[in-house]
Amino acid sequence: MAKKYLILSSSSPSSRVAPPLISNGPKGLNVTHNCQVEYDIGRCNTSQKHDNGCIDVKRTSFPMIKGGYVIYGVAHQHAGGLGSTLYGQDGRVICTSLPKYGTGKQAGNEKGYIVGMTTCYPRPGSVKIMDGETLTLVSDYSNSKPHTGLMGLFYFLLAERL
């Protein structure tokens, strides 16, 4: 089974440029882009509040040159992260990854920090991305207080065939 891993970034253009958006494609895909590795958000004010509070939403869309079957997915966020969702072109949820926050003082369970993210392991063959399909990544952060060094990455593995 041929596999490839993909990394999507939801961050905005900046001078702090991230590594390639797609890596390890079957023919060494080299996709150029202008995404940040990290970004900062300020505190929201009352005019920016949504129905569910102060949430900073980053969104990016990307056409998949070559599709495949999703076999794994997980987001990467920092403190303040509320989760990320990867959507198919038709709006279906491909994978949602939510943060787990630490509750203690010991290493790996630091209170107020993300110590893990939920993962997606779809039933084999149940989630397919078509060749040319445009995916959308949405990454949510709380901006009830300012945050620096944020990331909105999403890693997923595709099998070209099962």
Could you tell me the fold of the domain covering 3-159?
Jelly Rolls (2.60.120)
Question: What are 58-74's pLDDT values in tens digits?
Answer: 888 888 989 999 999 99
Tell me if 7 sits within 8 A of 21, measured CB to CB. Answer: yes
* pTM confidence score: 0.76
Supply the Cα-derived Rg of the chain in whole angstroms: 16
Question: What are 25-43's pLDDT values in tens digits?
Answer: 444 444 555 566 666 777 8
Domain ranges across the chain = 3-159
Question: What are 71-119's pLDDT values in tens digits?
Answer: 999 998 888 889 999 999 999 999 999 999 999 999 999 999 999 999 9
Q: Look at residues 58, 43, 50 and name the one whose alpha carbon lies nearest to residue 147.
A: 43
Query: H helices then E strands: how many in the chain?
Result: 0, 13
